[in-house]
């Protein structure tokens, strides 16, 4: 089932000039903003840059700023500080239409899918399952450190996602 849905989603990218991804985690301060900002950076200067809009959201907790750990790791990855400082966490309840025009929702944990409004769940996938076929969670490093391990898991998946998307448009 995931394979068929994944092929449909990637097929939409191949037939569309605009495609939107939303990365989801619990509080939109560690994993999902890291994924959003890093994926935006990874696709820069590629055929995907002008076709894909990348955003993120949290489904469990309302927060006001990105975590220090994500901030530092994003700087290490080469993300300009001004881009990181512009980031504002978004709690999906405060943005009731956040998933309406999204083509792909990539969640960090299986339990995040239950927070996605039902009408949008067909577009929601576990990040590691969508990119690598592994139905496992990207753990929350706040509760399950080390942060570096989690950031490495996300980065590896994002590089795979870029390759999958590039293949789908060729």
CATH of the domain at 132: 3.40.50.2300
- In the chain, how many domains are there? 1
**Is residue 9 scored above 70 in pLDDT?**
yes
- For 95-138, the DSSP string reads -TTTTTT-SEEEESSGGGGGGS-GGGGGGEEEHHHHHHS-----
Q: Whole domain around residue 123: which residue ranges?
A: 2-169
C-alpha 14/C-alpha 17 separation (Å) is 8
| Residues 91-146: tens digit of each pLDDT | 999 998 999 999 999 999 999 999 999 999 999 999 999 999 999 999 999 999 99
| Residues 46-97: tens digit of each pLDDT | 999 999 999 999 999 999 999 999 999 999 999 999 999 999 999 999 998 9
* Predicted TM-score (pTM) of this structure: 0.95
Burial of 4 (0-12, 13-18, 19+ CB in 10 A): exposed
């Amino acid at each position: 089932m995931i394979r068929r849905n994944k092929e449909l989603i990637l097929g939409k990218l191949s037939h569309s000039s605009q495609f939107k991804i939303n990365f989801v985690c619990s509080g939109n301060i560690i994993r999902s903003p890291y994924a959003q900002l890093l994926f935006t950076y990874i696709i820069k200067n590629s055929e995907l840059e002008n076709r894909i809009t990348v955003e993120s959201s949290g489904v469990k907790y309302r927060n006001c700023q990105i975590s220090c750990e994500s901030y530092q790791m994003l700087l290490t990855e080469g993300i300009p500080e001004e881009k990181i400082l512009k980031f504002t966490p978004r709690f999906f309840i405060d943005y009731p239409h956040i998933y309406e025009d999204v083509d792909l929702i990539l969640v960090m944990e299986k339990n995040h899918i239950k927070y996605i409004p039902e009408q949008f769940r067909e577009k929601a996938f576990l990040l590691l399952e969508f990119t690598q076929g592994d139905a496992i969670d990207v753990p929350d490093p706040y509760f399950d450190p080390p942060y570096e391990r989690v950031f490495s898991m996300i980065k590896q998946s994002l590089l795979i996602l870029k390759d999958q998307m590039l293949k789908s448009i060729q």
